[in-house]
Structure 1
């Protein structure tokens, strides 16, 4: 076999030498310089006289300092010729040396921009994965860190660092003192976990592009913790959009991890929001860190008291449950249950520790006006029929949940341009299901479907296309619905599923009452669970069919309309029905715009009208 000629072998050898780095290239340059200096020095000593050592030294000095040539005598032409050659060679040597150093410096700057160095931080939050849901996660973490100093977020993604930084800076305008660090690499490679110092982090949020990437990253993370004997392990939060990954994720993660079944939770929110105006806004406020959130607090003053007594001991916080010392959550517990030593109180408040403002040693009930409280059972609200525009993989989950909360023989129409349903559906007890094919989603085609009895409209997003294109299709449907409402005088409430939180701002200007941003809910849940791990069990119950859930209920079922009533009286009215009131949604009679008020001061007074609703935590 032919092994290559001398030129090919030399080129291969030279390439191998050059690939060894800057130090090798500089060493080779010095060796070449000394070799040339020795040859010229030898020639000068033979042709012009003098010793070899003197000839080499003089040649070397002309190489290193071009000005040496100006001091040479002009009577020896041969000497001048050789020294001129060495001076020219010296200029080339200097240029090549500067080029090597400059190239090495640029390469080092590029590597520094890539963020290859190990992160030296402690108690930071590591976010693994760069996708469009990242901005929601960062904004929520920044808001959570607002009252805490020296907080750091480390982002690991497979994009260039400058690209990630520019994208985050464009979406998050104010970091409120939170330090941002970026590292570029695959989120399921162990050396990137080491680079991000996950072993010293307080929490790791896995933000994979899809469930497969998230699962692979989770397995890599757990393997890294085991191999490096990390104790205690940072809390892990990971969101799965496919319920089939949840069981495997829980098995792989073990303890100290929040495996969030986002698909079921979002399906339940959509089903309930389609008939409860304002419910989506309530969930958004509960999950972000902009106003009021859930916190687990050690409150010594409540030990030994019943939950009903505790309910009226706070002026600017609302107790919603108990986090027991055995790590179980009791949400909306029996009001006769006593708070034990070591139990934490789950409070709905503005910030952790905010309950201290206005806490009392005994329940305050003197300002409760019993005469304004409506006794007896709540009025059973009639669920309207539902028209669903589009279909996706959540359709059956939404319908199964809607079947549980709707009235008998409720009509649900699924409207799409497909010739038939794309997804297999279950059998429903209370729903009369009808599928209608239309040519397009323009007003002319939709008008025939929308005529008839009172109904609500649900717009589902398309998960088979890019999220920007899917949101664009949903916006088009909203515009056409608004056009029908304006031109034909048909009134209906619209709930719309949006995939990107930034597009919600556009959708709100187009029309609609409820917007379920699936990516935002998943991101906010992961942050909540990473900041306060016990809240995982709180939201797991709220977003499941078991235990207590959130409802928007008519004010007139709790207190009288048209009279001034304080919030403490409203809390008592809800307690009489084994429920907890977190706030209310009030509609301005003139502008018809709704205002959401959560966790007001107990002395806050308000006059309610028909159409106003209370935010209620109850079992039904």
Structure 2
């Protein structure tokens, strides 16, 4: 019994076999049975052992007595056999429900860890896998299997054919990792757990994958998120070339800054990052070898070329005269990779007569107001300093003077910004009136990460309502960007007519999903979110062409090219508050599409500022 169910079942089976052989031998030796055939005698003995009703048909005193003894022994032994078998099956089913069985799938996406970001990641992966055959996503987390499955069904209505397999275990435990078959997975996403020191768990998980004693020979494709920048070097040290590390705080800070400086930037980045709609692809078009990047900009009807990937790395918005070499890949935006493969030529030529040949005006000093302080305030200040023109000013408003001072100190030396603080309650109307909100060019509202998400977002919404009323009353447009912790509150924030809402977890989730499908996208995102090189700008479309009839997007691309910029889309101001219309953002429209270029419409370009 100490050897387990398998041994017990085996020994009970041997006992049944022994009883059958002995009974058949006795019946044959003493001629007590109805037959002298050994096989038939053994068969009759087996029936007596496993079925107590068989004895009712026995004849002859000797055979009846033998049958009674055999049946009595069979009841004991065979009942024990059935009992052990039933108990073993029940235990096995319970183990399966606990999520401890081995995963048999191969070429799957493996997610290690659990947080609220997982729902956005799964939703995006389901879209990315629509064209795949029998796609599978496997999740390993220290959470009950049934709870994980119920949460996924509740938050995601349609997985579009992607199969979700959940297993309970620790991502840093080598035996638990073996359960999810990490040796045969396609890519691995390591989530930052919701605990006091999440980066330690992430680094340990990467270490278990890359330095485990039974690791596979071919390299892994790992993408992981890190909360604190100081831990990135350690994460790369254990991950090496196999891991792409996403700086969670820095990424969100960069987007907050870009969204605060120009309305609609967040919607553009979400459109670039998600799988629903336009995506970023790499194409090795040999027909462009020896030709220039400027020619490639107008080469495709339904694709927007945005850069070049060479052996040296990724370049976004290179000079128009840059020659595309053999083996270089064009980086392009398209609704689907099949569109890029088809590579249809434009149906219209740019109207050169409408192109305005002028440079975009340089950035002027601006005043910014940051309301609220959290752990991302210091990176936001660093990014503001990098993007702002010399002589710019930023004011921090919050209830804790010392916390604001510490955030400024952590941000480091400010070469372009002067900083100051005002102590006050952000949700208090009189406090906001006293700081003269309409006098600022940009306002950033940061969430209080010391509170639960719903309560923090509720305070943010109250602050936004006051801000918009104050700016409307002064009849001055101030760009207001807000950070939200819960995606469900984004639509509520639109009631306040805020220019951009950044859902922190959503942005990081989208990036993790994209990089897990193509690790080269990490270089593209790093350039787009960085103050160095080219980034996204939304500029008045009316300044690129002479006024008149609507012009084709091909003409706008040509006009941007004249300024050393790459046009990738258009924003219709009339739909800026409509979520169903992607807040007016159209990325990679057909070159033949016509746009009015009037009012507050914007041309979306990649440019160096």
Q: TM-score, normalised by structure 2?
A: 0.84
1:395 equivalent in structure 2:
377
SS at match of 2:486: coil
Quick check: 1:561–1:610 contact (8 Å CA) kept in 2?
no
Provide the rounded CA distance (Å) in 1 between the counterparts of 2:129 and 2:390: 48
Label 1:509 to 1:103 Cα distance change in 2 as closer, same or farther (>3 A).
Answer: farther
Quick check: 2:552–2:594 contact (8 Å CA) kept in 1?
yes
Provide the rounded CA distance (Å) in 2 between the counterparts of 1:183 and 1:327: 40
Quick check: 1:312–1:365 contact (8 Å CA) kept in 2?
no
Q: CA deviation at 1:165?
A: 1.2
SS at match of 1:237: strand
1:40 equivalent in structure 2:
none
1:352 equivalent in structure 2:
337
Q: CA deviation at 1:284?
A: 0.5
Label 1:336 to 1:165 Cα distance change in 2 as closer, same or farther (>3 A).
Answer: same
Q: CA deviation at 1:217?
A: 0.5
2:125 equivalent in structure 1:
141
Provide the rounded CA distance (Å) in 2 between the counterparts of 1:590 and 1:477: 21
Label 1:591 to 1:352 Cα distance change in 2 as closer, same or farther (>3 A).
Answer: closer
Provide the rounded CA distance (Å) in 2 between the counterparts of 1:609 and 1:413: 34
1:528 equivalent in structure 2:
514
Provide the rounded CA distance (Å) in 2 between the counterparts of 1:581 and 1:590: 19
| Structure 2 counterpart of 1:415, from 397, 412, 425 | 397
1:507 equivalent in structure 2:
493
Quick check: 1:265–1:544 contact (8 Å CA) kept in 2?
no
Quick check: 2:253–2:380 contact (8 Å CA) kept in 1?
yes
Matches within 5 A, 1:55-70: 67=53
| Structure 2 counterpart of 1:405, from 363, 387, 392 | 387
2:597 equivalent in structure 1:
608
Matches within 5 A, 1:129-528: 129-209=113-193, 210-224=198-212, 227-228=213-214, 230-324=216-310, 326=311, 328-360=313-345, 367-380=349-362, 382=364, 384-422=366-404, 423-425=406-408, 426-439=412-425, 441-481=427-467, 492-509=478-495, 511-528=497-514
Provide the rounded CA distance (Å) in 2 between the counterparts of 1:591 and 1:395: 27
SS at match of 1:215: helix
Provide the rounded CA distance (Å) in 1 between the counterparts of 2:266 and 2:371: 19
SS at match of 2:332: strand
2:20 equivalent in structure 1:
none
Quick check: 2:394–2:420 contact (8 Å CA) kept in 1?
yes
Provide the rounded CA distance (Å) in 2 between the counterparts of 1:89 and 1:473: 76
Q: CA deviation at 1:419?
A: 4.0
Label 1:496 to 1:125 Cα distance change in 2 as closer, same or farther (>3 A).
Answer: same
SS at match of 1:254: helix
Provide the rounded CA distance (Å) in 1 between the counterparts of 2:523 and 2:453: 30
1:39 equivalent in structure 2:
none
Q: CA deviation at 1:566?
A: 0.6
Provide the rounded CA distance (Å) in 2 between the counterparts of 1:488 and 1:313: 47
SS at match of 1:183: strand
Provide the rounded CA distance (Å) in 2 between the counterparts of 1:336 and 1:440: 50
Q: CA deviation at 1:308?
A: 1.0
Q: CA deviation at 1:555?
A: 1.6
Provide the rounded CA distance (Å) in 1 between the counterparts of 2:223 and 2:541: 37
Q: CA deviation at 1:356?
A: 3.6
SS at match of 2:435: helix
Quick check: 1:420–1:437 contact (8 Å CA) kept in 2?
no
Label 1:518 to 1:88 Cα distance change in 2 as closer, same or farther (>3 A).
Answer: same
Matches within 5 A, 1:504-583: 504-509=490-495, 511-561=497-547, 563-583=549-569
Q: TM-score, normalised by structure 1?
A: 0.82
Label 1:195 to 1:589 Cα distance change in 2 as closer, same or farther (>3 A).
Answer: closer
Quick check: 1:484–1:490 contact (8 Å CA) kept in 2?
no
Label 1:590 to 1:596 Cα distance change in 2 as closer, same or farther (>3 A).
Answer: closer
Label 1:484 to 1:22 Cα distance change in 2 as closer, same or farther (>3 A).
Answer: farther
SS at match of 1:134: helix
Quick check: 2:426–2:463 contact (8 Å CA) kept in 1?
no
1:406-456 residue CA offsets vs partner (Å, 9 max, x unmatched): 355444221212243342423434434332222461434433334552443
Does 1:110 find its partner at 2:94? Answer: yes
Quick check: 2:121–2:509 contact (8 Å CA) kept in 1?
yes
1:279-335 residue CA offsets vs partner (Å, 9 max, x unmatched): 0011111111111121111212211211111111111111111111x2522221222
1:189-235 residue CA offsets vs partner (Å, 9 max, x unmatched): 112222222222221111131222111101111013xx335232131
1:171-201 residue CA offsets vs partner (Å, 9 max, x unmatched): 2222212222222110111122222222222
Provide the rounded CA distance (Å) in 2 between the counterparts of 1:174 and 1:244: 39
1:480-519 residue CA offsets vs partner (Å, 9 max, x unmatched): 4456567887754321112333433443345422112222
Label 1:100 to 1:228 Cα distance change in 2 as closer, same or farther (>3 A).
Answer: closer
Label 1:65 to 1:121 Cα distance change in 2 as closer, same or farther (>3 A).
Answer: closer
- The root-mean-square deviation of aligned C-alpha atoms, in Å, is 3.8
Q: CA deviation at 1:617?
A: 0.7
Label 1:115 to 1:388 Cα distance change in 2 as closer, same or farther (>3 A).
Answer: same
Label 1:61 to 1:357 Cα distance change in 2 as closer, same or farther (>3 A).
Answer: closer
2:36 equivalent in structure 1:
none
Residue segments in structure 1 that go unaligned for 5+ positions in a row: 1-16, 35-50, 55-59, 74-78
